[in-house]
């Protein structure tokens, strides 16, 4: 039986993981707490830890996991900016779920965009109170507008095609543009200058951190709608707020927020929100915030559990070789070991 400490458990995680785990001899120890330096001891005696986007897997946590004999860090998400993979190299292997439902995220991005532009959130509240006035609810047609997609991987490409379905003109920027696609790539500055809607679908890296800052916002069209379902720190939230107050940003649709780690995924309705910036953003009539919800569909939850259990079995029952292994060298050196069907280290 493979023993796994499952950190940051939510009620919606348990059914799918318990079901797939029981089928394949994997036992999950469901823990409500997040993984960090104070909680890493709970992984003692386990073969692996299973973590999510806001668990902190830094060098100190990795050193302790290594000392406790934990062999594998299994991320149950795609992004891995919260794991120090350089420090894990040579100590603890890291696997992730590269794709579980890119449709879930792309469709949520469009749901946020439609809600915001057509003021559905306002209309919903009004009609519940029998207020049938239309004043202040004017939106704009998507048809004929330009959408700029930053990052044309799995999610970005699906979102781009959804936008095309609305008759939008789609342009894109990617650090590594797809060579075999019909996507119209432009420079980042051209995308900022031409887009009526900008949607972010690239990973958070040192290079992309705060890629939407004051100078980027300066280059955008007045009234631009920003959508972020990727990672919060892609946007400098202070600069976003300034852009909104200056009436430069027409609307912002945020599923992620830079300082979300201690706020999102929990019911904080009975507490005073200490994050002034988030509180101010939420108070804006043209900002919609969902709390990192874009992935949350039945299909995605099942795929996440199935792939994570598959990753654990590949690692523990297949000589440690797993296609979904991550290391800081993967893709960055010639003839990466994983591409030769070997372990990363």
Q: Looking at beta carbons only, is 46 or 105 nearer to ligand NAD?
A: 105
Residue whose structure tokens are 């970005």: 156
User: Which of 324, 301, 296, 295 is closest to 96 using CA atoms?
Assistant: 324
Cβ atoms 256, 281 nearer than 8 A = no
Whole-angstrom CA distances from 9 to 54, 109, 158, 174 are 12, 25, 29, 34
Which range binds ligand NAD by CB under 6 A, 26-34, 61-69, 263-271, 288-296?
288-296
Q: Which one among 201, 304, 312, 314 touches ligand NAD, defined by CB under 6 A?
A: 201
Cβ atoms 324, 122 nearer than 8 A = no
Q: Looking at beta carbons only, is 2 or 212 nearer to ligand NAD?
A: 212
Within 112-141, the residues that bind ligand NAD by CB under 6 A are: none
Within 303-332, the residues that bind ligand NAD by CB under 6 A are: none
Closest approach of Cβ 129 to ligand NAD, in Å?
31
Which range binds ligand NAD by CB under 6 A, 55-63, 139-147, 179-187, 226-234?
226-234
Angle between helices 102-117 and 120-128 (to 10 degrees): 70
Distance, CA of 120 to CA of 64 (rounded, Å): 48
User: Which of 232, 150, 239 is closest to 188 using CA atoms?
Assistant: 150
In 143-194, beta strands by DSSP E: 146-150, 169-173
Q: Which one among 182, 207, 267, 334 touches ligand NAD, defined by CB under 6 A?
A: 207
Residue 231 catalytic?
yes
Which range binds ligand NAD by CB under 6 A, 121-129, 130-138, 287-295, 313-321?
287-295
Closest approach of Cβ 338 to ligand NAD, in Å?
16
Which range binds ligand NAD by CB under 6 A, 24-32, 139-147, 201-209, 214-222?
201-209
Catalytic residue among 76, 108, 119, 260: 260
Strand partners, 72: 48, 93
Residue 292 in the binding site for ligand NAD (CB under 6 A): yes
Residues 6+ apart with CB under 8 A from 281: 237, 240, 241, 244, 252, 254, 257, 287, 289
Cβ atoms 19, 43 nearer than 8 A = no
Residue 292 catalytic?
yes
Residue whose structure tokens are 């996991």: 65
Within 147-176, the residues that bind ligand NAD by CB under 6 A are: 150-156, 173-176
Closest approach of Cβ 219 to ligand NAD, in Å?
16
Residue 203 in the binding site for ligand NAD (CB under 6 A): yes
Helix (H, G, I), strand (E, B) or coil at 293: coil
Angle in degrees, CA 173, 177, 182, rounded to 5:
90
Interacting residues toward ligand NAD by CB under 6 A: 78-79, 99, 102, 105, 150-156, 173-176, 201-204, 207-208, 229-231, 255-256, 292, 294-295
As annotated, the active-site residues are 231, 260, 292
């Amino acid at each position: 039986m493979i023993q796994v400490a499952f950190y940051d458990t939510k009620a919606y995680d348990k059914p799918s993981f318990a079901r797939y785990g029981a089928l394949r001899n994997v036992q999950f120890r469901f823990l409500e707490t997040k993984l960090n330096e104070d909680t890493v001891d709970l992984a003692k005696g386990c073969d692996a830890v299973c973590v999510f986007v806001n668990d902190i897997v830094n060098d100190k946590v990795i050193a302790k996991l290594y000392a406790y004999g934990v062999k594998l860090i299994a991320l149950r998400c795609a992004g891995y900016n919260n794991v120090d993979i350089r420090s894990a190299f040579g100590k603890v292997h890291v696997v992730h779920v590269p794709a579980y439902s890119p449709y879930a995220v792309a469709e949520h991005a469009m749901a946020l965009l439609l809600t915001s532009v057509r003021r559905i959130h306002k209309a919903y509240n009004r009609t519940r109170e029998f207020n049938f006035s239309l004043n202040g609810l004017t939106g704009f047609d998507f048809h004929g507008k330009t959408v700029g997609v930053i990052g044309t991987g799995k999610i970005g490409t699906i979102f781009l095609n959804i936008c095309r379905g609305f008759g939008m003109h789609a342009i894109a920027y990617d650090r590594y543009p797809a060579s075999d696609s019909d996507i119209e790539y432009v420079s980042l500055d051209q995308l900022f200058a031409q887009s009526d809607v900008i949607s972010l679908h690239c990973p958070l890296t040192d290079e992309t951190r705060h890629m939407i800052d004051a100078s980027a916002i300066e280059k955008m069209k007045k009234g631009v709608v920003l959508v972020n379902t990727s990672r919060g720190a892609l946007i400098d939230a202070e600069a976003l707020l300034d852009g909104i107050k200056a009436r430069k940003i027409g609307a912002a649709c945020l599923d992620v927020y830079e300082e979300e780690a201690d706020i999102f995924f929990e019911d904080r309705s009975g507490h005073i929100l200490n994050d002034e910036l988030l509180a101010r953003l939420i108070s804006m009539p043209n900002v919609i915030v969902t709390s990192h919800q874009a992935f949350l569909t039945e299909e995605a939850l099942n795929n996440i559990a199935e792939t994570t259990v598959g990753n654990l079995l590949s690692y523990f029952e297949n000589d440690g070789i797993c296609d979904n292994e991550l290391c800081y060298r993967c893709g960055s050196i010639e003839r990466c070991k994983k591409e030769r069907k070997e372990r990363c280290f």
